Amino acid sequence: MDYIELKVSLTPYSQELADVLVAELADAGFESFDDIENGFNGYIQENLFKDDIANTVRQVAQDFGATAAVAHSKIVSQNWNAVWESNFEPIVVDDECILLAHFHNVDKPYKYRIVMEPKMAFGTGHHETTYLMASGILKHNCAGKTVLDMGTGTGVLGILAAMKGAKEVDAIDIDTWSYESALENAAFNGVADRTNVFCGNAALLTTPEKYDLVLANINRNILINDMPTYYRSMKPGATIFFSGILLEDIPAIEVSAAALRLKKVGENRRNKWAFLAFEK
């Protein structure tokens, strides 16, 4: 799947305006954001991109007494490796787990060491949400559990759950590059025997009450839309972790979860990103 990168530069720059624009773009379906000098880059699936978003960005900036320079370009799948490699830094989660690429040299031993092969372009904007999800998994008892990793990306969260003793992990991603990446990474990290990787979306969740733990780090709109399907796939008493949520979108996720009678059992925050945990 191809993505559009929207580059937004603000004059004068203000964090408050950048935060408002990021929230606006997340509502419009943008999945991730990278900070750049005086602005940010946003990433959206090409089929969801609408040209007129640039006018919305300019108008919001004008309302703040600022000017926004907006440009967009297509990121073709073949270029993703190079972009990903140039951005990606190792992530150490709670001093217990390190997520790194094969080209990083880190000698320090960690309890969980996950080596990822770069296949995704827009990894850096996800570092906070990946971190929050990994931190939640580290605190959770995964032993003997059946786990769903929805929007698996590189496969990192499912791999960590498997390393922590999960009996079986179903890892699903809508994007074919992510699917291939998750397959490779599960094998490379020695958990392929417990991991089933699928390319698709929530429509693949046809078995009710299958999972003890659901991991869903995607974005607000998809999480809200697909939450009833995730819910059906959870066993009674199962746990669901959400991220990919901006702080201001916490109430919207909570309302959708409450409508399903999911009980909130955890929350964590990192910069502008949130992690929420619920039980069925």
Ligand X SMILES: C[S@@+](CC[C@H](N)C(=O)[O-])C[C@H]1O[C@@H](n2cnc3c(N)ncnc32)[C@H](O)[C@@H]1O
**Residue type, position 265, single letter:** V
Which of 254, 255, 263, 197 lies closest to 234, judged by CA?
263
Q: Which stretch binds ligand X (CB under 6 A): 73-81, 101-109, 166-174, 250-258?
A: 166-174
Our finding on whether 172 is near ligand X (CB under 6 A) is: yes
Does residue number 257 form part of the binding site for ligand X (CB under 6 A)? Answer: no
List C-alpha distances in Å: 86 to 4, 82, 104, 255. Answer: 18, 6, 12, 38
Question: Is 244 near ligand X (CB under 6 A)?
Answer: yes
146-150 and 168-173 beta bridge pairing = parallel
In DSSP terms, 113 is beta-bridged to 98
**Stretch of 18-26, 103-111, 152-160, 261-269 lying at the interface with ligand X (CB under 6 A):** 152-160
Q: Which of 129, 146, 185, 195 binds ligand X (CB under 6 A)?
A: 129
Give the residue with the Cβ less far from ligand X, 1 or 71.
1
Restricted to residues 261-280, the positions that interact with ligand X (CB under 6 A) are none
Annotated binding-site residue? 217: yes
Cβ-based neighbours of 86, under 8 Å, separated by 6 or more: none
Task: Report whether 173 belongs to an annotated binding site.
Answer: yes
Q: Within 203-242, which residues bind ligand X (CB under 6 A)?
A: 217-218, 222
Partners of 268 in the β-ladder = 275
β-bridge mates for residue 150, sequence order: 172, 216
Check binding of 178 to ligand X (CB under 6 A): yes
In terms of CB distance, is 68 or 278 closer to ligand X? Answer: 278
Residue type, 195: T
Helix (H, G, I), strand (E, B) or coil at 2: coil
Interior angle at CA 148, CA 143 and CA 149, nearest 5: 105
44 part of the interface to ligand X, by CB under 6 A: no
Q: Is 200 annotated as a binding residue?
A: no
Q: Is 153 in the site for ligand X (CB under 6 A)?
A: yes
User: Hey, what are 200's tokens?
Assistant: 């698709």
Is position 130 annotated in a ligand binding site?
A: yes
* 87-126 residues near ligand X, rule: CB under 6 A: 126
Please, what's the b/e burial string for 80-114 (b: 16 or more CB within 10 A of its CB; e: otherwise)? bbebbeeebeebbbeeebbbbbeeeeeeeebebeb
Decide: is 34 part of the binding site for ligand X (CB under 6 A).
no
CB of 218 to ligand X, least distance (A): 5
256 is a site residue for ligand X (CB under 6 A)? no
The annotated binding site for S-adenosyl-L-methionine is made up of 130, 151, 173, 217
The annotated binding site is made up of 130, 151, 173, 217
| Contact residues for ligand X, defined by CB under 6 A | 126, 129-130, 133, 150-153, 156-157, 172-175, 178, 201, 217-218, 222, 244
